[in-house]
Structures are given as structure tokens and as C-alpha cells.
Amino acid sequence: MPLTVLSLGEISPEMLYLDLMKRVLSDSIFIDHPLAHLVPYQIKVGTPWIKRQFLWMISGLLARYRITMAESNDSFTHEERVLAIANGTFWPARAHTMIGHKRLNNLQTCVESVLRHSVPGDLIETGVWRGGACIFMRAILKAYGDETRSVWVADSFEGLPSPSPNKYKADEGDQWHTFDILAIPLEEVQSNFRRYGLLDDRVRFLKGWFKDTLPIAPIDRLAVLRLDGDMYESTIQALEALYDKLSPGGFVIIDDFSLPPCAQAVGDFRSARGIKDALIDIDGSGSYWQRSA
Ligand SMILES: C[S@@+](CC[C@H](N)C(=O)[O-])C[C@H]1O[C@@H](n2cnc3c(N)ncnc32)[C@H](O)[C@@H]1O
């Protein structure tokens, strides 16, 4: 199974631990188990964008009545599952993160870079779902013996907000708030951290809507800012509240860059701030840039 790749000659206990963490957090060690996947809307790799939008719309309506269009796991071949788990293109039934291996690898590379180059600041994810990407960030700090940085875990812990199209036109008609599967209580996320032995006072929770929590969060500096809030509103609010705290040399990771409202928020913010740092694609879904100044 071509999962996370360790090249021979580079293997250290830290890398082995982090490699195993990725396999467990993504549930890829059980890739062929019926519970490994939950694909609510027949979105297979390569589904045309227009069909994808149509399926999201229908399933959003059905979700209001608590009906999910769960696709049978049997309809995916092993190869399709490997591809889906690499690219994070499905909602997993029980994995602690949905972001897939390529975006986990990117997160690891960014955190390792700031550690290696002593870029000052904490790590944050805005939009954490079951917490897996934040658990992974805490694991990386632990693996390398960092004892100063915190991992900030920001979420409503009740799903996405209803859109405010008067303020954020790009979110008009957005249906994410209707998906119960995206509402994971704080206690469940804390319990997930505990399962890995990674819940301690260096994990800081920011519970509430981003518009309320992020502008007043008691964060001094950030080295990694990972955004995963899907909507225009959630993306722009996180950038506006937190970008100025990001150290030069630090990273902004945009999980949802393939979603047009999110990409628009990123574009609007970068234009408004004159940011020219190269936006680099991770896996066709996520993108990131390294702050130069
Ligand atoms: C796609 S999920 C995040 C996936 C996660 N990063 C992972 O590793 O699997 C989006 C999350 O963003 C949160 N969210 C989105 N917009 C928000 C907002 N404006 N305020 C608070 N939470 C928000 C939702 O509650 C949800 O948990």
C-alpha cells in the first residue's frame, strides 16, 4: 500500500512514530475495513465538478432530514481507496482526520521546518472536526522534544455557521451547516487527544465561532496557521484575526483551496495585503504558502 513514504537511510524513531501516527489518524491501517470509509455523496476521485456540486446540493437537502447518502464501501476498489486516502477526498467513518496523507505530510513538513529553523510561535488549526490534524501537530512537537510551543484547537464544536450572504456573498446558498457529521463536541475531541496520550496543558482549545474567538484569542505568535473552515467567512475571519501573528518563515496552510468560496477568501486577503509569496498546491485540494515578511 503506497502510503506515507520513508526513504531508506533516513529512518529515525521520530519518523517511525510520526509515520505510524499518520496511518492511525487517517485509519489507513484498516483501509479495507467497512468502517474505513464513509462517502456520503458518491464523490469519487475524478467526479466532474458539476456533478459534485449537484450531489452536495441534494445531500445537503437530505441532511436536514438526517438522511445521508452513504455509499456502500464495496463500490470502491482497493486502488480507489488508496487514492482517496492519499488525497483526503472522502469523509471517513471513524478516522480522526479527513485530510489524507498528502496533507498530513505537508503539515509535518511545515512543522518540522519551523522547528528546524527556530521560527517562533505556536501552531493552530481553525476547523478541527475530530481533532486529528491538531493531534498530529502535538505529536510532532512531542517527537522532537519541543517544550515551549502550544497547539491551538479552534472550532465551534457544533459544525459550521449558517451563511451570512449579506456580508459574505460567496457563501450564498452554502449548506455545510446542515451536516451533523461535521459537528463534533469538544469533549469528543479532547477524548481523541487522550487516546494518543497527547492531551496536556500545551493543547489549548478555543471554543466558539471564529468571529468571536479568534480576534481575542490569547495567542502571541504563530509559526503554523492551518485553516480548515471550508467557507469564505471561516477562511477570511481566520486570516484577518491571525495572519499578523504569523512569524516570517512560518506557514499558512489552506486545506480547502479547491472550494471556490475559500479560494476567493484567500485571493481577496492576499490582494488586500499585497502578499506575493508563492501559493503552492499540495494535492489538488490544499495549498500553502510560506510567509516571507
Ligand atoms: C472540514 S472540518 C475540519 C477537518 C479537520 N481539519 C480534520 O483534520 O479532519 C471543518 C470544521 O470547521 C469548523 N468550522 C467551520 N467554520 C467555523 C466557524 N466559522 N467557526 C467555528 N468553527 C467552524 C466545523 O465545526 C468543522 O469542525
Sequence-ordered strand ranges (E) for the chain: 122-126, 151-155, 203-207, 222-227, 246-254, 280-281, 287-290
In this prediction, residue 89 carries a pLDDT of: 81
Q: Which residues contact 282 (CB under 8 A, 6 or more apart)?
A: 102, 103, 106, 253, 288
Which tens digit of pLDDT belongs to each residue from 91-150? 788 899 999 999 999 999 999 999 999 999 999 999 999 999 999 999 999 999 999 999
In this prediction, residue 42 carries a pLDDT of: 41
Task: Find out whether 68 and 181 touch, Cβ atoms under 8 Å.
Answer: yes
Kindly give the number of the ligand 1 atom that is closest to the alpha carbon of 95. Answer: 9
The residue to mutate among 27, 188, 192, 234, having the most atoms of ligand 1 within 8 angstroms of its beta carbon, is 234
Evaluate: CB of 159 within 6 angstroms of ligand 1: yes
4 vs 9, more confident: 9
Kindly give the number of the ligand 1 atom that is closest to the alpha carbon of 184. Answer: 27
Band the pLDDT of 90: cuts 50, 70, 90: confident
Q: Which residues contact 99 (CB under 8 A, 6 or more apart)?
A: 26, 88, 107, 132, 133, 228, 255, 286
Among 1.10.3720.10, 3.40.50.150, 3.40.50.620, 2.30.30.30, what is the CATH number of 100-290? Answer: 3.40.50.150
- Least confident window among 3-17, 39-53, 154-168, 239-253: 39-53
Evaluate: CB of 256 within 6 angstroms of ligand 1: no
Residue with cell 463534533: 184
The residue to mutate among 28, 158, 182, 216, having the most atoms of ligand 1 within 8 angstroms of its beta carbon, is 182
CA–centroid distance, residue 6 to ligand 1 (Å): 30
In this prediction, residue 149 carries a pLDDT of: 98
b/e code 114-123 from CB counts within 10 Å (16+ = b): bbeeebebbb
Separation between Cα atoms, residue 94 and residue 48, nearest integer Å: 27
257 vs 61, more confident: 257
Evaluate: CB of 100 within 6 angstroms of ligand 1: no
CA–centroid distance, residue 286 to ligand 1 (Å): 15
In this prediction, residue 98 carries a pLDDT of: 93
Evaluate: CB of 210 within 6 angstroms of ligand 1: yes
pLDDT beyond 50 at 71: no
- What is the residue extent of each domain of the chain? 27-87, 100-290
For residue 229, give the nearest of 124, 82, 135, 101 by alpha carbon.
124
For residue 126, give the nearest of 22, 277, 256 by alpha carbon.
256
In this prediction, residue 282 carries a pLDDT of: 96
Q: Which residues contact 163 (CB under 8 A, 6 or more apart)?
A: 171, 172, 173, 174, 177, 231, 233
Evaluate: CB of 127 within 6 angstroms of ligand 1: yes
| Torsion angle of C-alpha atoms 109, 113, 115, 116, degrees rounded to 10 | 120
CA–centroid distance, residue 129 to ligand 1 (Å): 5
Which tens digit of pLDDT belongs to each residue from 156-172? 999 999 999 999 999 99
For 248, phi then psi, to 5°, come to -55, 140
Evaluate: CB of 156 within 6 angstroms of ligand 1: yes
What integer best gives the mean pLDDT of the chain? Answer: 88
pLDDT beyond 60 at 223: yes
* Residue 18 amino acid letter: L
In this prediction, residue 199 carries a pLDDT of: 98
User: What SS3 string covers 125-164?
Assistant: EECCCCCHHHHHHHHHHHHCCCCCCCEEEEECCCCCCCCC
Kindly give the number of the ligand 1 atom that is closest to the alpha carbon of 209. Answer: 20
If DSSP codes are grouped into helix, strand and coil, which group holds residue 9? coil
Evaluate: CB of 132 within 6 angstroms of ligand 1: yes
Q: Which residues contact 263 (CB under 8 A, 6 or more apart)?
A: 257
Evaluate: CB of 228 within 6 angstroms of ligand 1: yes
As a whole-number percent, the residues of the chain with pLDDT over 90 amount to 69
pTM: 0.89
How many of the other CB atoms lie within 10 Å of CB of 25?
25
